[in-house]
Amino acid sequence: MKTASAVMYNSESANTIDTWLAVRDKLKSKYGEAIFKSWLGKLDFISLTNGELILSAPTRFIKEWIYNYYSHIIQNLWYEYDKSIRHLDIIVDNGSSKKSIISPSVTAHKSMLDSSDNTIPTEEMVFSSLDKRFTFENFVVGSPNELAYAAARATAESSKVQSESNPLFLYGGVGLGKTHLMHAIAWHIHETTPWRKVVYMSAEKFMYQFVQALRNKDIMSFKEKFRSVDVLMIDDVQFICGKDSTQEEFFHTFNALVDNNRQIVISCDRSPSDLEGIEERIRSRLGWGLVIDVHSTTYELRLGILESKVEQLDCHVPKIVLEFLASKITSNVRELEGALNKVVAHSTFVKKEINLENTQEILRDLLRANERVITIEEIQKRIAERYSLRVADMSSSKKLRIVARPRQIAMYLSKMLTPRSLSEIGRKFGGKDHTTVLHAIRKIEELCSSDNEFNEEIQMLIRMFQH
Ligand code: ADP
Ligand code: MG
């Protein structure tokens, strides 16, 4: 089998990559963004040799699903462009394969790679990627984030690296201020000790740059430039999970910097111990320094943030409206800010004072989403969508695995996410007995404990409903 790197470099394969990109586009428009993102978009191109097309999927679960459901469609689409195709095989590649130096997923980002530059950011580029508003001054401190704030400040203020707080590892859910704090560190260092070289980048960007350096056979200068920084900040490090060679390079860079007593700051959507798809030695190394959890916001913090935003926007919003927003929009700060901006923009536009009534009107959809109660019907609908079934299949008694398994998953989620009893759930799934529901729940629990990938899938579904 050819490796992905070999395929990328020979000239005839440029066509193959284009075919792959075209097929992907077709799949996306055929099935829509959601299904594409959950399933088909996770496929990577591996090789095409003598009519045998090999794609990879990140987990066995996804592989099987696509294989059973979409393989003939992929083959047909491919055939439209390239009549040589005879057979499609899908392998599982969770990033641990050493076959190729370039992670196959790179091929999917070809256009992005082509347009990105090959240099490590110069100082200017570093600062152009920082948001001017994300400073310590604009960060509102409350009990959920005070530790993170204090640690970020201490890191920004001390030019001496303390080994016990290296790396500084900030983690927490989306929209809680991790990126804001990282930018704030960069701005502060830039203002107070401008000679120190700070590099801030997302883990994704790290990956693209690394891959491009590989492509241009310029890995030495990539390493050199990285290793001369004083403070390296990598945002959303979870993105390198499962990206084998990027992980490895990140780890080398990381170690070289730490050995030279340079500061590392990392953000992530979960704690080091919850990171999966990452080598054990890297995972444990990430947790050696100061690991801080940015907690979900409280009502007080949300109100504080709104008040500070109103001041920045220099507009008038009645206190009762702020209190209303702080109590209703609880998901994260990004949404909260979005809601406030929307109300302010609307009132400016229609030249009307903001009050509770028009706020409720303007934010009707958003408020509904934040109030959302999960129903069995909703679970059935979304699970059916996700596994390309009809909603009616959820109430059927088809025993075929591709129908029965999602139905069991939906039953399990109904028990997990709604207050309904086993009998009530059974009724909603086509009048089944409560023992059938119980059996489904046991089955899913069993699969979760014996099959890591399956478990991941279930956890992901739970998160999907809770957001
Ligand atoms: P994360 O990186 O954790 O997903 P961000 O740092 O991007 O979240 O924050 C999302 C938005 O919320 C940003 O506009 C940020 O300025 C704002 N924000 C989050 N926390 C705070 C806070 N404590 N004070 C002020 N703004 C905040
Ligand atoms: Mg972020």
Owner of token pair 């999602």: 406
Nearest CA to ligand 1 atom 13: 334
Give the residue, 118 or 56, on which the prediction is more confident.
56
Place of tokens 């028009």: 358
Place 35 in a pLDDT band, splitting at 50, 70 and 90: confident
Compute the distance between CA of residue 233 and CA of residue 245 in angstroms, rounded to an integer: 19
Distance 337 CA to ligand 1 centre (A): 9
- Contact assessment for residue 240 and residue 207, using Cβ atoms and an 8 Å cutoff: yes
CA of 308 to the centre of ligand 2 (A): 20
Q: Compute, in angstroms, the gap from residue 254 CA to the centroid of ligand 1.
A: 26
pLDDT at 127: 59
Nearest to 252 by CA among 279, 217, 289: 279
Ligand 1 atom at shortest distance from the alpha carbon of 141: 23
133 CA: nearest ligand 1 atom: 16
Cα of 236 from ligand 2 centre, angstroms: 6
Q: Tell me, what's the pLDDT at 226?
A: 81
Q: Which of 202, 28, 196 is nearest to 116 (CA)?
A: 202
Cα(36)–Cα(29) distance, integer angstroms? 9
> In this model, does residue 324 exceed pLDDT 50?
yes
Please give the Cα distance from 358 to 343 (Å, whole number). Answer: 8
Phi/psi at 232 (nearest 5 deg)?
Answer: -110, 125
Residues with CB under 5 A from ligand 2 (ion): 179
Chain centroid to Cα 330, Å, comes to 20
Report the atom number in ligand 1 closest to the C-alpha of 149: 23
Determine the Cα–Cα distance for residues 15 and 245; give it in Å rounded to an integer: 25
Ligand with an atom nearest the CA of residue 235:
2
Segment (H or E) for 222: helix 219-227
pLDDT tens-place string over residues 416-426? 888 788 999 99
Rounded average pLDDT over 175-194: 94
Banded pLDDT at 116 (limits 50, 70, 90): very low
Close Cβ partners of 463 (under 8 Å, ≥ 6 residues apart): none
The pLDDT assigned to 14 comes to 61
Q: How far is CA 78 from CA 15, 45, 81, in A?
A: 12, 12, 6
Nearest ligand by distance to the CA of 171 = 1
| Protein residues whose CB sits closer than 6 Å to any atom of ligand 1 | 134, 138-140, 145, 174-180, 305, 333-334, 337
Of 129, 132, 145, 176, best ligand 1 pocket probe by most atoms within 8 Å of the beta carbon: 176
Q: How far is CA 432 from CA 226, 374, 422, 437, in A?
A: 60, 21, 10, 7
- Residue 339 CA to residue 325 CA, distance in Å, equals 8
Question: Among 36-40, 74-78, 92-96, 100-104, where is mean pLDDT lowest?
Answer: 100-104
pLDDT digits (tens, 9 = 90+) for 447-464: 999 999 998 898 888 877
Of all protein residues, the one whose alpha carbon is nearest to atom 10 of ligand 1 is: 175
For the cut 90, the answer to whether the pLDDT of residue 437 exceeds it is yes
Average pLDDT on 3-12 reads: 33
Q: What pLDDT, on a 0 to 100 scale, did the predictor assign at position 100?
A: 28
Q: Is 351 helix (H, G, I), strand (E, B) or coil?
A: coil
Beta bridge partners of 293: 171
Strands 168-171 and 231-235: unpaired
Please report the pLDDT score of residue 269 as a whole number. 93
Q: Is the pTM of this model over 0.85?
A: no
- Residues 271-291 have pLDDT tens digits of 998 888 888 889 999 999 999
Q: Give the chain's mean pLDDT.
A: 84
Encoded amino acid at 234, one letter: I
Alpha-carbon gap, residue 155 to 297, rounded angstroms: 23
- Would the pLDDT of 2 be above 50? no
Calculate the CA 41 to chain-centre distance.
Answer: 14
How would residue 125 be classed by pLDDT, with cut points 50, 70 and 90? Answer: very low
To test the pocket of ligand 1, the residue of 137, 178, 333 to mutate (highest count of ligand atoms within 8 Å of its CB) is: 333
Where residue 178 falls among pLDDT bands split at 50, 70, 90?
Answer: very high
| Beta carbons of 444 and 409 less than 8 angstroms apart | yes
pLDDT number for residue 71 = 82
CA distance 458 to 451: 11
* Residue 197: count of CB within 10 angstroms of its CB: 15
